[in-house]
Structure formats: C-alpha cells, structure tokens
Amino acid sequence: MIEQTTISRHRGRSMLAVAAVCALLGAQSDHQAIAQTRSVSEGSSATSATAEYRLGGGDVLRLTVYQNQDLALETRVSEAGIISYPLLGNIRIGGLSVTQAEQLIADGLKSGNFIKNPQVTIAILQVKGNQASVLGQVNRPGRFPIETADMRLTDLLANAGGVAPTGGDQLVLSGVRAGKPFRAEIDLPTIFIAGGESQDMQILNGDVIWVDRAPMVYIYGEVQRPGPMRLERRMTLMQTLASGGGLNLRGTEKGIRVHRKNAEGKVQVLQLPMDEALKDGDVVYVRESLF
C-alpha cells in the first residue's frame, strides 16, 4: 500500500509538472502571438503614415481651430516650406504630412497657453508643392499635381489623358532618387501583364515622363491607301500592305521593295519575304505591273 501511494504521488507530481510546462509554453505562444499582432499593427501604421501626402512649397491650405474662428486662416506654403500663423509666427511645415502639421500647430497653441485643448484641422485647397510633368505624345501634356503619396506612373499618364494615337509604347521616366539622377526606360504594355506591376513606378516630386512617338512605316506606289502608318510590334511586310488596303489592280508582289537606312545612314533597297518584320522608318514601294 505504501509503495502504491508513493507511486501515485510521483505520478501526480509528474502530471502537475507537465501541466505547468504546457501552461508556460502556452503563455509564451500567446505572448509571441500578441507581439506579432503588435508588430503587424505597427507596420501597418508606419506604412499608412509614410503613404500620407507631404506638404510642399506652393500648396494652398485652409487652417481652422475648433471653436476659435479668429484662428482660421487660408495661406500658401512658401518655397521654403514655411507658413505664418497667428500667435505662433513662422512655422516650417514643408515635408510634413497633414496630420503632423496639425499636431505641430496644436502643440504650439497648447504649449503657449493660448488654447487648453486645441483641435486643428488643415484642408489642402490647391496642390502645388509636389508636381510631375508629362511630355511628348500624350493627349494633354503639362505639369500635374501629385495629390497622393503613392501615385504611380499609370496614374500620371491617366491625368495627361493617356498616350496619344501617335505615341509609342516606350516611355522614359526621369527624376531624382536618393539624391542622384534617375532614368528608367519602361515598356508600357508590360505593366499590365502578370508580374509587371514593378514597372508601374512610384512618381515623386519633379519627375518627368517622356512618351516617344510610335514607330512608323511609309507605303507608296500601287496600293489602295498610300501614306504613313503606325508600325505595330513584329508587324510583317504582308500585314503592313494589308493595313494599306492591299495592292491595287496595277500593283504586283514581285515589284515590292523596302527602302531601309543602315547603321551608316545610307538607304538600302531590299526585297524582303512577306513574313519578315519591318523596322521603324522603312519605306515600302510597290511597283506597277508590266503586264
């Protein structure tokens, strides 16, 4: 009986020890889960904070303080990023988010004992401080405000009315990144295919997008619709002739010649197969049939 009682006691102690270890591991897991949740939450907050619009020189603002109409103000941020505010004088808000600028002014009013618990609101009336330009073959070239901190290349192109019919697929984005000149050549259609999102680059203040003209070929001679024509990707000689309405009754396939400049700038006259792709600047001439 004594031995059985002793064994039972040992078993009981072992079970209690196991339970204590499980409880400890569970507490550690809960603690890790809470820490991970906090980390994700803090990361989300940091991301949202960095994505907020930053005020810049030229922005026009309306500042109001709750229940203090005398402190309402419409002002323009100077090129140095400074505004002049009643009771506080000159305040540097350039580079701050709207939330940070509101807090800065509220802290100044509170620390100066002007208002016990100020509630400051800033509304952006005109975005002038952060702008980017779109030039070249677009429907509305010009300078456009960067109204959101996460504006992308496609957003800016949309503001410019999109690429014009004479525009090509190749874009050039230039600006400054990390204090150094930046230039990237971008193939617009690749943005919209799977995995091409990285080509839709973020637009920063002072960026310039250049849209080059589309590659062209020229058809003349015995065709239905002679003249210049947009050269699509991998467009063959046969497809080009078809886009020109095909040969007329006097034209002959044997009389088709392609005039192309070589690397030295000299024009070469080529007789190409119908399934060969043309190049930018090619001139297709269709001769008249002799019979």
Is 55 inside a domain boundary?
no
CA 48 to each of CA 45, 124, 149, 169: distance values in angstroms, whole numbers, following the listed order: 5, 19, 10, 33
pLDDT of amino acid 153: 95
pLDDT digit of tens for each residue in the chain (291 aa)? 444 444 344 444 444 344 443 443 344 444 444 344 343 334 433 333 346 788 888 889 999 999 999 999 999 999 899 999 999 999 999 989 899 999 999 999 999 999 999 999 999 998 888 889 999 999 999 999 887 778 899 999 999 999 999 999 999 999 999 889 999 999 999 999 988 888 999 999 899 999 999 999 999 999 999 999 999 989 999 999 999 899 988 888 888 999 999 988 899 999 999 999 999 999 999 998 876
The overall pTM is greater than 0.75: no
Is 147 inside a domain boundary?
yes
Is 44 inside a domain boundary?
yes
User: Based on the domain organization, do 174 and 194 belong to the same domain?
Assistant: yes
For 43-108, the DSSP string reads HHHHHHHHTSPBP-TT-EEEEEETTEEEEEEEEE--TTSEEEETTTEEEE-TT-BHHHHHHHHHHH
Please identify, among 71, 92, 126, the residue that sits at the C-terminal boundary of a domain: 126
CATH number at residue 202: 3.10.560.10
Is 137 inside a domain boundary?
yes
Nearest to 173 by CA among 141, 135, 139: 135
User: Based on the domain organization, do 87 and 120 belong to the same domain?
Assistant: yes
Amino acid identity at 194: A
Asked if 191 and 199 touch (Cβ cutoff 8 Å), the reply is yes
How many of the other CB atoms lie within 10 Å of CB of 140? 11
Is 64 inside a domain boundary?
yes
Residues 155 and 193: their CA atoms lie apart, in Å, by 17
Gyration radius (Cα) of the chain, Å: 34
Chain centroid, CA 281 distance in Å: 32
Please identify, among 213, 243, 261, the residue that sits at the C-terminal boundary of a domain: 213
Range of the domain at 253: 216-288
Give residues with Cβ within 8 angstroms of 138, minimum separation 6: 157, 160, 161, 162, 163, 164, 167, 211
Please identify, among 149, 184, 213, the residue that sits at the C-terminal boundary of a domain: 213
